[in-house]
Structure 1
Amino acid sequence: MEQGFTNLKGLVYSFNFILNGEISSPHSLGGGDYLFYKFNGFGNITPKDILRWRQMNLFLVSFCAFFLITLQATANDKPSPYEEIYPEIGYNSVEEAVNDFEQRFNQKLKLPLRVPPISFTHHFGRFSDSKYEGNDALEVTFINDQLSENHYKIDIRPLKYKLPLREKYVVKTFELKNGFVATYMTISGFNVLVFERDNLQYMLSIDKRVSNKVTPENLVDIANSIDY
Structure 2
Amino acid sequence: MLCIVFTFSFSFVVKANYTSEEFQESLFEIGYKSIYEAINEGNEHFNQEIALPVQLPPVAFTHSFGRFDNLDGDVNDKYDIEYVNKDTPQNHYKISIQPVKYGMDFRDNHIDQKIKLDDGNEAIYSTKAVNGFNLLVFERDKFQYILSVDKRISDIATSDILVEIANSIK
> Does TM, normalized by the shorter one, top 0.5?
yes
Distance 1:90 1:78, change over 3 A: closer
Offset of residue 160 of structure 1: 1.3
Q: Choose the corresponding residue for 2:120, options 179, 188, 192.
A: 179
Q: Choose the corresponding residue for 1:90, options 31, 41, 45.
A: 31
Aligned equivalents of 1:88, 1:78: Cα separation in 2: 15
Aligned to 1:192: 135
Aligned equivalents of 1:147, 1:194: Cα separation in 2: 25
Could you say what secondary structure the match of 2:10 adopts? Answer: helix
Aligned equivalents of 2:33, 2:10: Cα separation in 1: 19
Aligned to 1:205: 148
1:134-171: per-residue Cα shift (whole Å, max 9, x none)?
A: 00000000000110000000000011111111222111
Aligned equivalents of 2:97, 2:50: Cα separation in 1: 9
Aligned to 1:39: none
1:85-134: per-residue Cα shift (whole Å, max 9, x none)?
A: 00111101100110111111100111000000000000000000001430
Aligned to 2:53: 112
Aligned equivalents of 2:40, 2:124: Cα separation in 1: 27
Greater per-residue strand proportion = 2
Distance 1:84 1:160, change over 3 A: same
Greater per-residue helix proportion = 1
Tell me how many residue pairs correspond in the alignment: 167
Structure 1 outlier segments of 4+, above 2 Å: 59-62, 77-81
Of structures 1 and 2, the one scoring higher in RCO (CA 8 A, sep 6+) is: 2
Give ranges in structure 2 of 5+ residues lacking alignment: none
Distance 1:78 1:92, change over 3 A: closer
Q: Percent identity?
A: 41
Amino acid at match of 1:84: E
Question: 2:11 aligned with 1:64, yes or no?
Answer: no
Query: RMSD value over aligned CA atoms?
Result: 1.4
The more displaced of 174-183 and 159-168 is 159-168
Question: 2:99 aligned with 1:165, yes or no?
Answer: no
Amino acid at match of 2:28: P
Distance 1:61 1:126, change over 3 A: farther
Aligned equivalents of 1:123, 1:78: Cα separation in 2: 16
Distance 1:118 1:78, change over 3 A: closer
Aligned equivalents of 1:85, 1:111: Cα separation in 2: 25
Q: How does 1:1-228 map to 2 (within 5 A)?
A: 57=1, 59-71=2-14, 73-74=15-16, 81-186=22-127, 187-227=130-170
Give ranges in structure 1 of 5+ residues lacking alignment: 1-56
Aligned equivalents of 1:226, 1:78: Cα separation in 2: 33
Distance 1:132 1:217, change over 3 A: same
TM-score of the superposed pair, with normalisation by structure 2: 0.93
1:171-220: per-residue Cα shift (whole Å, max 9, x none)?
A: 10111011111100122110000000101100000000001111100000
Could you say what secondary structure the match of 2:61 adopts? Answer: coil
Larger radius of gyration: 1
